Structure 1
Amino acid sequence: MKVHFIAIGGSVMHQLAIALKRKGYIVTGSDDEIFEPARSNLAAEGLLPVADGWFPEKIHKELNSIILGMHAKADNPELLKAKELGLPIYSFPEYIYQESKDKTRVVVGGSHGKTTTTSMIMNVLKSAGKDFDYLVGARLEGFPQSVNITSAPLIVCEGDEYPASTLEKRPKFHFLFPHIAIITGIAWDHINVFPTFDIYLEQFRIFIDKIEPGGVLIYNHTDLVLKQLVEQHPSSVRKIPYGIPQHRIENGITVVTLEGHSGALKVFGEHNLLNLQAAWLACKELGVGPAAFLKGIMAFGGAAKRLELLARNERLNIYRDFAHAPSKVKATMEAVRRQFPDRKLIAVLELHTYSSLNEQFLSEYHGAMDLADKAVVFYSRHALELKRLPPLSPEKVAAGFGKKDLLVLNEKEDLLKWLMEQSYENVNLLLMSSGNYDGLDVAGFANKVS
């Protein structure tokens, strides 16, 4: 098989390229700019393009497939040449389906928790000795790549609702056709793509339509919007609702009980307990029993940047989390507060996504930071410029959150100064962002104060 990647430098695109090369395919690719770690990863596999840019001469009739990344535009010269030659052109998820037509497909969708739930399933299946492929949106300990494609009979995929490619504007998870589907919850996001909540909600209705005949839908019935959607949906697939499993907290450690078997977890929070229950139900469908599930899940330390413990001492824990959407921020705040009720909570949130930096969306964050004893919302003017959004005043941000004494900052130097001035006696510090605080050395700060 000969495969060419247009925009090979993408975070998941380059991982798929590596996986296919290791499978024995002849892989080529192009990109106009490739950043780390993709550049080093591709170079190590002999897949790094000789030069940056687009080269139509790389496109020829002997190619079996063209895989098109999100970064590529509609007028990309390689794409135009591929169209001219009539070559099969796939978005990333379309190609994943091509490689998994004969596999049992597990797809985890939802506005929040899908990366962690997918990672939990992967961890358990690996512990249980199952042979499987996977696609997940984060770095996960014990897995060298975020994408793996082999001859395994099973694939576990994180299903994103974002558009598949520059040509295919439908959501990625519409192209994966699961036998076992999970929906973790629904909370409006990506307003640049889905300008109204009803449009966003419709994508999940369609996802349910895509479940294979005889398949199963595992859904979070504590999410009332999702519960109503599933109950009103005419699909004949088997529907399994889930909620928070039986558990207790002992000295800051969560112990969960499944069908009479108990185990202590490394992760915590009600949102993670919901993720765990979804993962358990999926693994149960795949033939994993409660004891084997708990063995795998007890070793799970979380996906990268999901309540990741950056540093700690006897008086301070510093957590980094990918939370950025309102529902994710609320769930993460609640998790830390409930797990450590006697500790002060200091929270910092960076607004970095298109939705979060949009003035019309800010009211969705109302109350999201209320559980913090001290709270900062940070956003950079640079992020606004990159997304071509108008200036956003700190006063409007503060009004959107509605929290008394909320501090709103724009400069990373001011943020670092504020962080260094705080007292960290009996404190949990929660740093939430899908960005990098405009280049702030978060790890260096964490090491310094701990």
Structure 2
Amino acid sequence: MTPDDNTPDPARAAEAVTAAILADLASTDHRAVVVDSPPGAGKSTLVVRAAGDLVDGGERPIIIAQTNNQVDDLVIRLATEHPDLPVGRLSGGNYTAPAAITDLANATVGGTLADLAGCGLVVGTSAKVATVRDGTFGWAILDEAYQMRSDMLLQVVPRFDRGLFVGDPGQLDPFTVVGTERWIGLPHDPTQNGVTVLLEHNEGTPVHRLPVSWRLPACAAPTISQAFYPFTGFSAGTTHGVRSLRFRSAGFGGTDLDETLAMAFTTGWALHELPRRHVPRTDTETLRTAAGLACRLLERGAVGVCERHPGERDLSASDIAIGVAHRDQAGLVRSVLAQAPNPTARQVAVDTANRLQGREFEVVIVVHPLSGRRDATAFHLEAGRLCVLTSRHRQACIVVAREGIVDILDSHPSTDPVHLSVPAKFPDGWEANQVVMAKLVDHRVAA
């Protein structure tokens, strides 16, 4: 299915923005270029392409990401797509390279820049680059830049002259375990993300926005855009009907789990609503239900069709994720899956929003952060957390929650304090939750 004549071609729109970004890289007018990206808009593709263009132009760039997994993924992709380019993986002493990297003929792992002197580009985590005290680069590409704290940015900027900052402004802010009140409103708040501080102190820095999500289906992109990107927005890269799900076997003696899966497979959304009850966050019934949905999906043999696989493809456990707000919730879901009759169920990805950030699956099952609560705390109302959980999927998103979330939101309106010299944060977590729940109530299945 293709867009009609009145609908902008998403590929053409995305390419136009990419061309403008690469043009700014080739220009010497700016020390920094910022690229805002919605979920699944092709951040990694842009990073790989920009790195290739810089190398072709005679540069030796450094690419900085925030986690070892992100760095490993970039090294593998860069070395694969540029087989003639020596790629260096800057790492700490306790790092063990996966086989996917050691098997690459053009990838080198080293603990210092001297070890990687023969590499055309270098990739490392921000924490590792901050320890480097010698050597500089003309260009740096900072991936997931909104997840880098500004104090970390200040530690790595001596290593490069100009930077391309690529990230998603709608997802989780950098994480810190200490109280942040003492720094609120200061000109250089170390707990703010690096991009925000960069833009506050460097007027005229060009900001580009990728306009298309290639991950989210057409049924999900409008809701995610309205809830978490209200001022910029984006569209889906595919149209309705391009992607679909079905089961190989019928749901004999159908249960409420089957009804929820049918809703999700038909519309792309489902709210599996358990009876209203105030419960601890490790509510066994809710977490078992999330695990049960994944097991039932595998038991009935889900089959997906999309632009990548127009001839159908069986979904495996690795195509499914269960997202939660807390680590103890993830541990309980994993223990349930480990006891499932189907041994492949333990391959379902189960983790918190922080760890699922940046990953992609066909079907995602979300345990709503406000499920069963008596109140709505700042942690559970965090817009970035819900954004991550509800934007990992390519086909369908199923939310598991106890009845009463809308009532919790109505009785606990946003009360975030207002601080001098601190711009109001958008999107507002309370409003974002309301938008998502307004969508989910039309896809509700009562347990």
Shared fold (TM-score greater than 0.5)? no
User: Normalising by the residue count of structure 2, what TM-score does the alignment of the two structures yield?
Assistant: 0.31
Higher relative contact order (CA 8 A, sep 6+): 2
